[in-house]
């Protein structure tokens, strides 16, 4: 009897796989169907090559492999100093302690091969090996320069700077946040500056120096400093001064070079340049108080003296110039040519003026 709906044996032991319009149902196999054909049978099995078995490394570890016997150390003496020779024959390592025997030679020749010693004296390399080591050291990046003890101006005023900066980055000496100084709070989450006012980083209170500060929570420093004192350079450039309240200079945000010397040579200076009369007088060396010339003093308006002793050009007859009442100087031997105009006419004018005044005086007396 023929079965047209079944083909030759397929999956399973002696089973027949259905043919025709049969469709594979994955859910049927997951439900554990025990029928024959696709999806039925004994289910999935772990392949043989996926089963747990010891790895090759574990197997090799269990096998006792004989280790090669250590080679005897080859040594050589150079100037009564014992060295060990590397298997390649390119390096000589000193066995004799450095504190004993002579110093390692800088250069030596062994069997026609030149060896060069290192600076410390621990090794001696073959000439080609030594040249290779020197070339590798030249390709290495240079070591970073040593740190300076001076504070970094950029880190102090901004709170950030490059890692390879030569100056010192001290988080305990940062400048005070300007927003916090003015308003008392700072809402910026990225602010890296300090928010703790103290005499080292807070500017001097100008109202306190005038006796007018009435704020009990003043964030500025209350310190008495001379008004003509120099501007503190550390505070102006770094925003921090180690002296604090004991500093004799003024803690203000001004250019110290311009305020102290009257000139600033920094082209990119961002600090304000302020002119103050007291500071300018101090730079010029002029006293603060100057008395005006009194009336009748020998000093004229232009600051020059009219005394004969100071000029040295007048003789003893010049002392009578005030008695004559003339607006010019008469020589010791006056001649008509030495006078710029007739004296008689001038004397006549003076007599007329005196007579007129006398008449007016008589009229007043009447």
Q: Of all residues in the chain, what percent carry a pLDDT higher than 70?
A: 60
Helical spans, DSSP H, in 10-126: 26-30, 56-62
Residues 244, 176 share a domain: yes
Helical spans, DSSP H, in 63-139: 127-139
> Given a cut of 70, is residue 124 above it in pLDDT?
yes
> Given a cut of 70, is residue 325 above it in pLDDT?
no
Residues 259, 157 share a domain: yes
Residues 283, 148 share a domain: yes
CA dist., res. 167 & res. 210, Å (int): 38
Provide the residue range defining the domain that includes 122: 75-139
Quote the pLDDT of residue 156.
95
Residue 184 lies in a domain: yes
> pLDDT band for position 210 (50/70/90)?
confident
> pLDDT band for position 179 (50/70/90)?
very high
Tokens of 19: 């043919």
User: Among 263, 287, 311, which residue terminates a domain?
Assistant: 287
Residues 156, 125 share a domain: no
Quote the pLDDT of residue 60.
65
User: Among 260, 287, 314, which residue terminates a domain?
Assistant: 287
Quote the pLDDT of residue 146.
86
Chain-centre distance for alpha carbon 253 = 17
User: Among 241, 271, 287, which residue terminates a domain?
Assistant: 287
Residues 192, 166 share a domain: yes
Identify whether the C-beta of residue 41 lies closer than 8 Å to the C-beta of residue 33: no
Choose between 320 and 96: higher pLDDT: 96
Residue 18 lies in a domain: no
pLDDT digits (tens, 9 = 90+) for 234-262: 999 999 999 999 999 999 999 999 988 88
Residues 155, 117 share a domain: no
Tokens of 26: 């994955």
Residues 218, 133 share a domain: no
Highest average pLDDT, of 86-100, 183-197, 316-330, comes from 183-197
> Given a cut of 50, is residue 315 above it in pLDDT?
no
Residues 84, 175 share a domain: no
Q: Of 225-234, 276-285, 345-354, which range is least confident?
A: 345-354
Residue 67 lies in a domain: no
CA dist., res. 6 & res. 1, Å (int): 12
Quote the pLDDT of residue 366.
40
> Given a cut of 80, is residue 16 above it in pLDDT?
no
Residue 29 lies in a domain: no
Q: Which residue has 């002793």 as its token pair?
A: 309
| Mean pLDDT taken over the chain | 74
Residue 3 lies in a domain: no
Q: Is 221 exposed, middle or buried (0-12, 13-18, 19+ CB in 10 A)?
A: buried
Quote the pLDDT of residue 275.
86
Residues 283, 149 share a domain: yes
> Given a cut of 90, is residue 350 above it in pLDDT?
no
Identify whether the C-beta of residue 173 lies closer than 8 Å to the C-beta of residue 193: no
Highest average pLDDT, of 55-69, 184-198, 293-307, comes from 184-198
Quote the pLDDT of residue 153.
93
Residue 345 in 3-state DSSP? Answer: helix
Average pLDDT of the segment spanning 276-285: 77
What is the tally of structural domains in the chain? 2
Residue 274 lies in a domain: yes
Backbone phi, psi, residue 128, to 5°: -70, -35
Residues 280, 172 share a domain: yes
Residue 344 lies in a domain: no
Q: Which residue has 């003496």 as its token pair?
A: 77
Tokens of 166: 């030569």
Tokens of 191: 């602010």
Residues 221, 192 share a domain: yes
Compute the CA torsion angle 318, 322, 327, 333 (nearest 10 deg): -30
Quote the pLDDT of residue 357.
46
> pLDDT band for position 100 (50/70/90)?
confident
Which residues have C-beta within 8 Å of that of residue 228, sequence separation ≥ 6?
Answer: 278, 279, 282
Residue 365 lies in a domain: no
Choose between 232 and 313: higher pLDDT: 232
> pLDDT band for position 22 (50/70/90)?
low
Residues 239, 128 share a domain: no
Choose between 95 and 6: higher pLDDT: 95
Q: Nearest CA to 124 among 74, 71, 112, 133? A: 133
Which residues have C-beta within 8 Å of that of residue 256, sequence separation ≥ 6?
Answer: 230, 231, 232, 233, 236, 237, 271
Compute the CA torsion angle 103, 104, 110, 113 (nearest 10 deg): -150
Quote the pLDDT of residue 287.
54
Q: Nearest CA to 22 among 38, 34, 33? A: 38
Quote the pLDDT of residue 335.
47
DSSP state at residue 48: G
Quote the pLDDT of residue 1.
52
Quote the pLDDT of residue 68.
74
């Amino acid at each position: 009897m023929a079965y047209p709906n079944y083909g030759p044996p397929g999956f399973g032991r002696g089973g027949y796989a259905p043919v025709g319009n049969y469709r594979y149902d994955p859910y049927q196999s997951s439900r554990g169907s025990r029928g024959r054909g696709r999806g039925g049978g004994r289910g999935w099995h772990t392949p043989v090559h996926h089963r747990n078995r010891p790895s090759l490394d574990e197997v090799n570890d269990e096998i006792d492999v004989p280790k090669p016997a250590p080679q005897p150390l080859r040594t050589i003496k150079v100037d009564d100093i014992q060295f060990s020779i590397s298997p390649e024959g390119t390096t000589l390592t000193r066995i004799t302690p450095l504190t004993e025997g002579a110093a390692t030679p800088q250069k030596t020749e062994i069997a026609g091969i030149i060896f060069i010693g290192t600076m410390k004296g621990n090794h001696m390399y073959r000439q080609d090996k030594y040249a290779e080591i020197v070339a590798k050291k030249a390709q290495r990046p240079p070591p970073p320069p040593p740190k300076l003890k001076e504070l970094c101006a950029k880190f102090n005023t901004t709170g950030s700077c490059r890692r390879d900066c030569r100056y010192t980055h001290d988080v305990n000496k940062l400048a005070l946040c300007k927003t916090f100084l003015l308003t008392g709070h700072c809402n910026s989450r990225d602010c890296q500056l300090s928010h703790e006012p103290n005499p080292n980083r807070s500017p001097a209170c100008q109202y306190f120096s005038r006796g007018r500060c009435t704020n009990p929570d003043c964030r500025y420093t209350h310190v008495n400093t001379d008004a003509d004192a120099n501007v503190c350079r550390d505070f102006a450039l770094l925003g921090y001064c180690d002296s604090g309240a004991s500093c004799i200079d003024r803690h203000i945000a001004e250019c110290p070079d311009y305020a102290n010397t009257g000139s600033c040579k920094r082209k990119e200076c961002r600090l304000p340049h302020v002119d103050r009369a007291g500071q300018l007088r101090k730079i010029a060396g002029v006293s603060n108080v100057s008395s005006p010339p009194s009336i009748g003093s020998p000093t004229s308006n232009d600051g020059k003296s009219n005394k004969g002793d100071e000029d040295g050009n007048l003789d003893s007859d010049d002392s009578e110039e005030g008695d004559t009442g003339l607006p010019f100087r008469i020589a010791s031997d006056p001649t008509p040519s030495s006078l710029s105009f007739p004296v008689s006419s001038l004397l006549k004018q003076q007599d007329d003026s005196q007579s007129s005044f006398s008449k007016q005086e008589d009229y007043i007396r009447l």
